[in-house]
Chains A and B, each alone.
Chain A
Amino acid sequence: MNQYTISGKQRIIFLAMIAIGVVSMAFTWMGDDELHTRFWTNFLHNSVFFTGIALMATFFIAVCITAWSGWHAVFKRIWEAFSMFLIPGFLLMMIIALCTYFDIHHLYHWTDTSLYDDPTSDNYDAILASKAGFLNKNWYLFGTLIIVGLWVFFAVKLRGLSVSEDADPGEDFKNHRTQRIYAAAFLPIAGFTSAAIIWQWIMSIDSHWYSTMFAWYTGASWFVSMIAMTIMVLIYLKGKGYYEQVTGEHIHDLGKFLFAFSIFWTYLWFSQFMLIWYANIGEETIYFRLRRDHYPVLFYGNLVMNFVLPFLILMRNDTKRKYGSVLFVAALVVFGHWWDFFQMIKPGALHTAHEVIGGHGDHGAEAAHHVMEFTSGFTLPGFLEIGTAIGFMGLFLFVIYGALGRAALVAKNDPYLEESLHHHV
Chain B
Amino acid sequence: MAAHKEVVFGLYDDEVDLMNAVKKAKADHLEIMDVYSPFPVHGLDPILGLSESRLHIAGFVYGMLGTLTAFLGMTWIFTKDWPIVFGGKPYWSVPAFIPITFELTVLFASIGMVVSFYTVCGLGPGVTNPYLDNRITDDKFCIAFDQNDVSHGQAESFFQSTGASAVKTKTI
What residues make up the interface of A, taking CB atoms closer than 8 Å to B?
270, 273-274, 277-278, 280, 315-317, 424
Nearest Cβ on chain B to A14's Cβ, whole angstroms? 40
Nearest Cβ on chain B to A425's Cβ, whole angstroms? 9
Q: Which residues of B contact A273 (CB under 8 A)?
A: 95
Nearest Cβ on chain B to A31's Cβ, whole angstroms? 39
CA distance A183 to B163 in the complex (A): 46
Q: Which residues of A contact B98 (CB under 8 A)?
A: 270, 274
Nearest Cβ on chain B to A98's Cβ, whole angstroms? 41
Q: Which residues of B contact A315 (CB under 8 A)?
A: 60
Q: Which residues of B contact A424 (CB under 8 A)?
A: 42-43
CA distance A273 to B95 in the complex (A): 9
Q: Which of B43, B52, B87, B99 contacts A280 (CB 8 A)?
A: B87
- In the complex, the chain A residue whose C-beta lies closest to that of B88 is A280
Interface size on B, as a range, is: 10 to 19
- In the complex, the chain B residue whose C-beta lies closest to that of A249 is B42
Q: Which residues of A contact B43 (CB under 8 A)?
A: 424
Nearest Cβ on chain B to A260's Cβ, whole angstroms? 15
What residues make up the interface of B, taking CB atoms closer than 8 Å to A?
42-43, 52, 56, 60, 87-89, 95-96, 98-99
CA distance A315 to B52 in the complex (A): 15
Q: Which residues of B contact A274 (CB under 8 A)?
A: 95-96, 98-99
Known contacts A315-B60, A424-B43, A277 near B88 by CB under 8 Å: no
- In the complex, the chain A residue whose C-beta lies closest to that of B98 is A270
Q: Is the CB of B56 within 8 A of A278?
A: no
- In the complex, the chain A residue whose C-beta lies closest to that of B94 is A277
Q: Is the CB of B96 within 8 A of A278?
A: yes
Nearest Cβ on chain A to B88's Cβ, whole angstroms? 7
Nearest Cβ on chain B to A70's Cβ, whole angstroms? 14
CA distance A219 to B42 in the complex (A): 35
CA distance A317 to B59 in the complex (A): 13
Q: Which residues of A contact B52 (CB under 8 A)?
A: 317
Nearest Cβ on chain A to B52's Cβ, whole angstroms? 8
Q: Is the CB of A278 within 8 A of B60?
A: no
12 of the cross-chain contacts (CB-CB < 8 Å) are: A270-B95, A274-B95, A274-B98, A277-B95, A278-B96, A280-B87, A280-B88, A315-B60, A316-B56, A317-B52, A317-B56, A424-B42
CA distance A317 to B54 in the complex (A): 11
Nearest Cβ on chain B to A322's Cβ, whole angstroms? 14
Besides the known contacts A273-B95, A278-B95, A317-B56, 4 further A-B residue pairs in the complex with CB atoms under 8 A apart: A274-B95, A315-B60, A316-B56, A424-B43
Q: Which residues of A contact B99 (CB under 8 A)?
A: 274
CA distance A362 to B87 in the complex (A): 31
Nearest Cβ on chain A to B85's Cβ, whole angstroms? 13
CA distance A316 to B43 in the complex (A): 20
Q: Which residues of B contact A277 (CB under 8 A)?
A: 95
- In the complex, the chain B residue whose C-beta lies closest to that of A273 is B95
- In the complex, the chain A residue whose C-beta lies closest to that of B93 is A277
Q: Which residues of B contact A316 (CB under 8 A)?
A: 56
Nearest Cβ on chain A to B42's Cβ, whole angstroms? 4
- In the complex, the chain A residue whose C-beta lies closest to that of B42 is A424
The 6 tightest CB contacts between A and B, nearest first, are A424-B42, A277-B95, A274-B95, A280-B87, A424-B43, A270-B98
Q: Which residues of B contact A278 (CB under 8 A)?
A: 87, 95-96
- Give the interface centre of B87, B89, B95 by most chain A CB atoms within 10 Å: B95
CA distance A424 to B40 in the complex (A): 12
CA distance A216 to B141 in the complex (A): 47
- In the complex, the chain B residue whose C-beta lies closest to that of A270 is B98
Q: Which residues of A contact B60 (CB under 8 A)?
A: 315
CA distance A363 to B56 in the complex (A): 59
CA distance A273 to B98 in the complex (A): 12
CA distance A273 to B43 in the complex (A): 44
Q: Which residues of A contact B88 (CB under 8 A)?
A: 280
Nearest Cβ on chain A to B137's Cβ, whole angstroms? 23
- In the complex, the chain A residue whose C-beta lies closest to that of B53 is A317
CA distance A135 to B144 in the complex (A): 72
Nearest Cβ on chain A to B70's Cβ, whole angstroms? 16
CA distance A316 to B98 in the complex (A): 23
Nearest Cβ on chain B to A81's Cβ, whole angstroms? 30
Q: Which residues of A contact B56 (CB under 8 A)?
A: 316-317
Q: Which residues of A contact B96 (CB under 8 A)?
A: 274, 278
Q: Which residues of B contact A317 (CB under 8 A)?
A: 52, 56
Q: Which residues of A contact B42 (CB under 8 A)?
A: 424
- In the complex, the chain A residue whose C-beta lies closest to that of B52 is A317
Q: Which residues of A contact B89 (CB under 8 A)?
A: 280
Nearest Cβ on chain A to B97's Cβ, whole angstroms? 11
Nearest Cβ on chain A to B10's Cβ, whole angstroms? 25
- In the complex, the chain B residue whose C-beta lies closest to that of A274 is B95
Nearest Cβ on chain B to A281's Cβ, whole angstroms? 11
